[in-house]
Structure 1
Amino acid sequence: MKAVVLLSGGLDSATVLYSAIASGDECYALSFDYQQRHQKELESAIAIAQSAGVIDRKIVSFDLRSWGGSALTDDKIDLPQERSLAQMSADIPVTYVPARNTIFLSFALAYAETIDAGRVYIGVNALDYSGYPDCRLDYIQAMQEVFRLGTKQGREGEAIKIVTPLIDLKKTEIIQLGNKLGVPWEKTWSCYAGGDKACGVCDSCQLRLAAFKELGLQDPVAYIC
């Protein structure tokens, strides 16, 4: 079956892509350049898509910097650093990009219906992140209904299915799954900062490093500290 896979270039989305391929789906990778602070992730998305041998890959470009509202699109907002897991889960952080997954899933839905795909994969995770509202199961369920009601395919046939293989996995479990699937971790990029090396102190780096450490593994990505 044809499938559109949202591929950011991060650890989670890379694992989702390799999982979709292992399931036998013909994968079409879709990435987004929204002028995010960490645009380096797009280089990783391209490298991962090439490594995985996807059928096709596309990058959709638009600019969210003029809207602001997030530390990932507004350089005036400082990235959270060196926070504990308890602090990360206390509230929705400034790294939340308003309605980002709704934007992404809308593009993915349009692309999927155009190429007659039956599935859209997204690497949302409700456990190891700070409670982003668009990474939770009730949100995915609501978007699934949008997929059904908002498309010709959904009204006249079988709705395109949103697939979330990581939603209930811990970060350590995601890494273990990726290891089984042969995900090239050295090609992935998780850091929210915009440097040549990962900062090691933003929320995303902290979660990634903690998971590799818990498993007794060395993260192959280069860090500043």
Structure 2
Amino acid sequence: MKESNPDNGGNNTKKAVILVSGGLDSATCLAIARAEGYDCYALSFNYGQRASSELDAAMRLASAFSVRQHQVIPLGIGQLGGSALTDASVAMPESGVVPDQIPVTYVPARNTVFLSYALAWAEVLEADSIFIGVNALDYSGYPDCRPEFILAFEQMANLATRIGVEGRPIRIKTPLIDLGKAQIIAMGHELGVNYGLTVSCYQADSKGRACGRCDSCRLRRKGFDDAGIADPTSYVSR
């Protein structure tokens, strides 16, 4: 576990747990939560992902946003295999996202596991919200990024927790779910997000430099182009 500013915050402030991967979307979610007046508690995971430099990015973001606390939880999801994000023997797709097709970059049950940890921490903190940067437009192939999954998880969360059954429901907030990448970038830009701190590449090197070829790099680059905002990404090939 790594922490920054472990102060638990004031008793009268509203609290939120924000899932922070180190990427563009989670950085924008963090900015939105702060703008909405939440005391922010950042949660990241070392789950065996190939781009481990994204955890360095998550720590940079937690520091930049002066979160109340940042926890990095080790998980063994990568040991199970089944995804190009955790298994180097699976070829990383570089041909672009195929609509309505679950890509090999899908990590089985990842968001279910991540949200479960976020739910546990939210209950401990007595936080009323969890923010997650899922996006149904750019990642429609991921079943755990869809609105119906989020709704089902929220319903389960409020049946399975003490604070839920005591009438203090936890909300799963997905402010980016219906936005395109350009809209997300424009929103974050308005909120002062420094996207140069983020790492989105599925196979970034140890310095956080992006490959420029994977699906995530393609979506990110197109998003900046469409938003008319300079891309601050550091690429290996540049």
List per-residue Cα deviations over 1:169-216 (Å, max 9, x = no partner).
Answer: 010000010011000100000000041310001000000001111222
Residue 218 (1) aligns with residue 230 (2): yes
List per-residue Cα deviations over 1:141-180 (Å, max 9, x = no partner).
Answer: 0001111111011111221110000000010000010011
Structure 2: 5+ residue stretches without partners: 1-13
How far 1:66 sits from its partner (Å)? Answer: 2.1
Q: Is the 8 A contact 2:95 2:215 kept in 1?
A: yes
* Residue of structure 2 in register with 1:148 after alignment: 158
Q: Which moved more, 1:15-24 or 1:56-65?
A: 56-65
The sequence identity of aligned pairs, in percent, is 51
List per-residue Cα deviations over 1:96-128 (Å, max 9, x = no partner).
Answer: 000100000000000000011110000000001
Residue 184 (1) aligns with residue 197 (2): no
* Residue of structure 2 in register with 1:113 after alignment: 123
Matches within 5 A, 1:57-136: 57-83=70-96, 87-136=97-146
Q: Is the 8 A contact 2:17 2:43 kept in 1?
A: yes
**Aligned AA (1:207):** L
Cα distance in 1 for residues equivalent to 2:94 and 2:70: 33
SS of match in other structure, 1:65? helix
**Aligned AA (2:93):** P
Q: Is the 8 A contact 1:88 1:129 kept in 2?
A: no
SS of match in other structure, 1:217? coil
Cα distance in 2 for residues equivalent to 1:34 and 1:131: 21
Structure 1: 5+ residue stretches without partners: none
Q: Is the 8 A contact 2:111 2:144 kept in 1?
A: yes
Change (3 A) 1:185 1:24: same
TM-score, length-scaled by structure 1: 0.96
Cα distance in 2 for residues equivalent to 1:157 and 1:65: 36
* Residue of structure 2 in register with 1:4 after alignment: 17
TM-score, length-scaled by structure 2: 0.91
* Residue of structure 1 in register with 2:9 after alignment: none
